[in-house]
Structure 1
Amino acid sequence: MRKIFKVGDKIEIVRIDRRTWEEKDVQYISKIADIKDEYFYIFTPIKEGVYVTFYIDEILRLYKISSDGVWMFDGVIEERFKEPEYMIKVKQISDVRKIQRRMFFRLPINLDIFVKLLNFGQIPRENTPEQAANDFSEGKIVKALTKDISGGGVCFITQEEFEIGDLILTKIPIEQEELILKAQILRKERVQHPTYRFMYGCKFVEARQNEIDKIVRFIFAQQQKMRQKGLL
């Protein structure tokens, strides 16, 4: 395969949770300073005027957005440097792979949504909008607030406690309608919030293509508004 990641490339860095191997929510922008075999020397990102603190043995996921798609690989931090510049030495521990651009961008946005836990005997066998609406009409339904959303999943906070691996139904307002989407919880964290106690990272399961397209169109529309306001 041709060399994808090169010296001078602008990249995005995401921390990885070792327990679940899932991404944490914060993304950092940086640049590749040097490459030696499987080792990448990366300028330490700066956030709010301060160098971001990374740790030895921490797992990172590195993304590069190019004209032909989004590329990524996982790495582990082996060294940190302050001279001649602040940098981290990252050893590549996975193959470089390509992902769909639309699944990559996570739009930070607060949307009021509803969530329902699916017990094993309640898992929908059909995936029609009518069946989804019926499945959401019964059982305990809780309020939640999104932190971000992408074509592949959603992050939200709520008062209700779920467990990693749980299947849920989410009702999300998109394009003047409410999409009812099944999702699986991949990440769980306690949060300090006046109303909600937990934050969950979820991936959509068995979503229809037209449902994903609606989310992607919504994200693009919100991005355009943010650009017009100078926020992107």
Structure 2
Amino acid sequence: MKANLIKVNHLLEIEMEKNNNEKEYLPSRLEEINDNYWYISMPMRKGVYITMRVGQKIRIILRYKKTMFAASTVITARRRGHIPVLIVNKPENLTAINQKRTYVRISVAIPVAFRLLLADGEKGELLQGVTGDISAGGMLLLSSQDMEKDQKIEVEIKLPDNDSIFCQAHVVRILDKASEEGSNNKYAIEYDDINEGQRDRIFRFIFDKQRDWLRKGVTE
């Protein structure tokens, strides 16, 4: 795909190598474009800008019309300002990719309503919980409800834009069982039938929340 199809304000991710050879993906945005360069917002982790050097090779991941694309480029300069940016060589083409990724997550409390999906096809009563963290791939759900691994649920994630996200999900891991009355169980939840538009909304929420925290001097 020609990179010229991508416009200013397009959300993207910067692929980073971790010490254990795993990869993480940090949210960024295309802030400016000219004939030779892309100006992308400097990535952050936990509300702190990540230092990246001039000459460093990076890989950019983005979604366009329900397909994931990637391009490798090089940081040619950095620019400070209200929104610090990395100036990178403008890629000519983007290559379609199909890969399972680890989504960036932030620690934030968002109300969640959910129902258990029962073996007989019925749905349980409406239950309440809250996120301990959230990503475009899943969340940490805190709830007094007792659930087992692989339990399927129907969730409503109440993002602050007043337009909830509805999808089915399941319990991947049980991280902590409540040890006393009134405390919450902690479940690692993975979305099952979430569409890419919904993922983009969560991704945008994470991007905007990190920028908001930075302006207020708050870290996770």
State the distance in 2 between where 1:231 and 1:212 align.
Answer: 25
Asked if residue 142 in structure 1 is aligned to residue 103 in structure 2, the reply is no
1:195 Cα offset (Å): 3.3
What is the 5 A alignment of 1:117-128? Answer: 117-122=116-121
Aligned to 1:3: none
Q: Pick from 213, 217, 220 the counterpart of residue 230 of structure 1.
A: 217
State the distance in 1 between where 2:190 and 2:119 align.
Answer: 18
CA contact (8 A) 1:113 1:145 kept: yes
1:192 Cα offset (Å): 5.5
Structure 2 counterpart of 1:183, one-letter code? A
Aligned to 2:157: 172
1:69 Cα offset (Å): 5.2
Structure 2 counterpart of 1:108, one-letter code? S
1:228 Cα offset (Å): 1.1
Percent identity of equivalent pairs: 19
Aligned to 1:26: none
Change (3 A) 1:230 1:180: same
Range moving further from structure 2, 138-147 or 148-157: 138-147
Gaps of 5+ in 2: 1-15, 21-56, 62-98
CA contact (8 A) 2:177 2:185 kept: yes
Structure 1 counterpart of 2:152, one-letter code? L
The structure with higher relative contact order (CA 8 Å, sep 6+) is: 2
What RMSD, in angstroms, separates the aligned Cα atoms of the two structures?
Answer: 2.8
SS in 2 for 1:165: coil
What is the 5 A alignment of 1:176-195? Answer: 176-188=162-174, 189-191=176-178, 195=182
Gaps of 5+ in 1: 1-8, 14-65, 71-97, 124-137
1:197 Cα offset (Å): 3.0
Q: For 1:47-85, what per-residue CA distance to the aligned partner results, in whole angstroms no more than 9, with x for missing partners?
A: xxxxxxxxxxxxxxxxxxx72159xxxxxxxxxxxxxxx
State the distance in 1 between where 2:193 and 2:149 align.
Answer: 18
State the distance in 2 between where 1:208 and 1:150 align.
Answer: 14
CA contact (8 A) 2:118 2:124 kept: no
CA contact (8 A) 1:69 1:99 kept: no
Aligned to 2:18: 11
Structure 2 counterpart of 1:163, one-letter code? E
State the distance in 2 between where 1:200 and 1:12 align.
Answer: 27
Taking structure 2 as the reference length, what is the TM-score of the superposition?
A: 0.52
Aligned to 1:23: none
Aligned to 1:161: 146
Q: For 1:171-213, what per-residue CA distance to the aligned partner results, in whole angstroms no more than 9, with x for missing partners?
A: 1112221111111101112146773331100110011111111
Q: For 1:147-186, what per-residue CA distance to the aligned partner results, in whole angstroms no more than 9, with x for missing partners?
A: 0010000111111101100110111112221111111101
Q: Pick from 183, 199, 203 the counterpart of residue 186 of structure 2.
A: 199
